[in-house]
Amino acid sequence: MSTTPATPEINLDEIQKEVSGLSQDQLMAEVLKTRVRQKKQQKKQQGSGAQKTYQLRQREKFKLMKAEAIRLGIWDKINEEAEAKAEAELGEESDVAEDAA
């Protein structure tokens, strides 16, 4: 008989309060930081090794921040900037790796 692991619980109200308390600049910075990380992971084609609870919380927080960024009309700008930064950071990482080899 197999048992299913318990699903981690997160407080969505707490996350909503956290997101709604951000200024537009803070929201943009947070979404950009997360989007750059996502773009880098997509390019590397790697999954995250973080714990389930952290992943779930981050996913929910990002969904709320993305919705707010879309509502404010800044999502496309963030996404374009994230793409450029991800490319630049990956280029720097590969240059460092080549120098080390």
Largest CA distance in the chain: 53
Indicate whether 7 belongs to any domain. Answer: no
Domain enclosing residue 66, as ranges: 12-44+51-100
Answer for the pair 74, 24: CB distance below 8 angstroms, yes or no. Answer: yes
Cα–Cα distance measured from residue 91 to residue 43, given in angstroms and rounded to the nearest whole number: 11
Single pTM value for the model: 0.48
Q: Mean per-residue pLDDT for 11-19?
A: 89
Reported as a pLDDT band with limits 50, 70 and 90, residue 1 is very low
Q: What is the CA radius of gyration of the chain?
A: 17
pLDDT in tens, 34-84: 999 888 876 665 545 555 676 788 889 999 999 999 999 999 999 999 999
Indicate whether 2 belongs to any domain. Answer: no
What is the rounded (10 degree) CA torsion for 88, 92, 93, 96?
A: 170
70-82 b/e (C-beta count within 10 Å ≥ 16 → b): eeeebbeebbebb
Indicate whether 5 belongs to any domain. Answer: no
Indicate whether 6 belongs to any domain. Answer: no
Backbone angles phi and psi of 42, in degrees to 5: -60, -45
Q: In total, how many domains does the chain have? A: 1
